[in-house]
Structure 1
Amino acid sequence: MQFEQALNAEYRDKIIWVTGVGQGIGLAVAKHFHALGAKVIGFDRHFSEPDALYKQIVCDLAQPEQVEQILAELIEQQLAPYNLIYVAGVLEMGELEALSLSQWQHCHNVNAASLFAFIKHCGAHFKQQRVGSLVTIGSNAADTPRQQMGAYCASKAAATQLTLTAGIEWANFGVRCNVIAPGSTLTPMQTGMWQDEQGAQRVIDGFAEQYKLGIPLQKIATPEEIAHSAVFLASNLSSHTTMQVLTIDGGATF
């Protein structure tokens, strides 16, 4: 109960930026912050539950130049964030020889280049205020290679290092930056890879022929489980935690 009270006290009327709020983890994060009284500004192309948002920013995170202009305007309007939660991500599948350059670039634009744009535009504000927190939703694939996921793995590794670099550059200003690295999570990205109703169990069991271990906890994460950790890491309850990668994958990459 004390934790919940502390979070409510911290986030009441605070502006929180969350990307990828249209579905999955991003939506769960937005709803959690909204329930704590925060003013959530959500970024995405489509919005499934706008009631959880203080403001909807329609944008294509595959176009970092467009994102930069939007962020500059928001900051000019005094809508800079107290916390930034970068959740948006895309997956492009294919063996390296079969991947197109456009697929590679799409993955990197959404997963890393637009994150860079957010970091760049929030940095001066965070440093001036000497308060703030960045949580990036990365992936356990950032340091564990996956067959047919080269673009995704590389882009999530880039996102991880971008976040940790921001953490060391901003540490003297009291601004914290951390990464959450989920494994398989029950989102449209995950279920889109399943071929039938046995898809979940196959993921839990692992794919020996792909050198991919199963999940010791014998379940797939929910978006809410990731969201709870994101809110905690962003909050003052973890005030001495920065430049860390929290892997939440049920033991899949122990």
Structure 2
Amino acid sequence: MSLDKQLKAEYQDKIVWITGVGQGIGLSTAKQFSALGAKVIGFDKHFSDASVLYKSVQCDLSNLLELEQILAELISSGLAPYNLINVAGVLEYDSIDALTTEQWLHCHTVNCSAVFLFIQACYNNFKQNKAGSIVTVGSNAAQTPRQKMAAYCASKAAVTQLTLTAGLELANYGIRCNVIAPGSTLTPMQTGMWQDDSGAQNVIDGFAKEYKLGIPLQKIATPDEMAHSIVFIASNLSSHTTMQVIAIDGGATF
């Protein structure tokens, strides 16, 4: 059986939860799972293409009380996921002395605390079903400090360890939990940091003054490339992979 047929056989009519489906990596991931026959439940504030979703859930991941209620309702309605894919994230970009407490908390709330609620909401169903997996999109910045990215780096380090700990706790139930750690990827978050048309090339070349290496592969990743990896790691094609952090950054953090 071809790999494509194996994936379609696995995902036909399976419920997959994906956060951050409004754009970028989340949207690409939703499209790929949908093409495999999955029933994708997507979470975001805004949706640019809801046609690939089985159900769209409009929510603010920084509102934890509201999010907890939404997730509980989905679980009680029999819509617990076969795969939980945590993609949504925000960047607060400023030096430590300029960051506000509000910025710090916002970054940690969306990038880590919301993921905690998603994992917790699905936890018992994963244990009972003994099938499926969790994939969290972290960042190579979780292990490599970046100037003006203290809140982001710290939040991604936190959510990485959260996901790996879930993997350790759920291993006896056959549930795999892994982290995809992208580097620079062509998303609005990335392009929002560029100053001019040379932004992409500058990222590829690196910033010596900021102690940031360039990208050996000489290109910036696309959301589709990240989505391919997410689908593979989440699926049974990767059935013996758990508690791993897989950097996909073109060699930027070798």
Which bin holds the TM-score, normalised by the shorter protein?
Answer: over 0.9
> Counterparts of 1:7 and 1:130 in 2: how far apart (Å)?
19
Matches of residues 52-91 of structure 1 in structure 2 within 5 Å?
52-91=52-91
**Once superposed, which parts of structure 1, at least 4 consecutive aligned residues long, lie more than 3 Å away?**
none
Matches of residues 1-254 of structure 1 in structure 2 within 5 Å?
2-254=2-254
Q: Post-superposition shift, 1:63?
A: 1.4
CA deviations 1:160-190 (Å, max 9, x no partner) are 0000000000000000000000000000000
Q: Match of 1:43, as an amino acid?
A: F
> Counterparts of 1:20 and 1:143 in 2: how far apart (Å)?
23
CA deviations 1:197-230 (Å, max 9, x no partner) are 1000000000000000000000000000000000
> Counterparts of 1:250 and 1:174 in 2: how far apart (Å)?
31
Secondary structure, in 3 states, of the residue corresponding to 1:178?
Answer: strand
Q: Post-superposition shift, 1:46?
A: 0.2
Secondary structure, in 3 states, of the residue corresponding to 2:99?
Answer: coil
Q: Match of 2:85, as an amino acid?
A: I
Q: Match of 2:217, as an amino acid?
A: L
TM-score normalised according to structure 2 size: 0.99
Where does structure 1 lack aligned partners over 5 or more consecutive residues? none
> Counterparts of 2:135 and 2:158 in 1: how far apart (Å)?
14
CA RMSD of aligned residues (A): 0.6
Aligned length: 254
State, as a whole percentage, how many aligned pairs show the same letter: 70
Q: Post-superposition shift, 1:66?
A: 1.4
> Counterparts of 2:119 and 2:40 in 1: how far apart (Å)?
18
Q: Post-superposition shift, 1:132?
A: 1.7
Q: Match of 1:7, as an amino acid?
A: L
TM-score normalised according to structure 1 size: 0.99
> Counterparts of 1:80 and 1:155 in 2: how far apart (Å)?
26
Secondary structure, in 3 states, of the residue corresponding to 1:134?
Answer: strand
Secondary structure, in 3 states, of the residue corresponding to 2:74?
Answer: helix
> Counterparts of 2:83 and 2:23 in 1: how far apart (Å)?
20
> Counterparts of 2:197 and 2:178 in 1: how far apart (Å)?
35
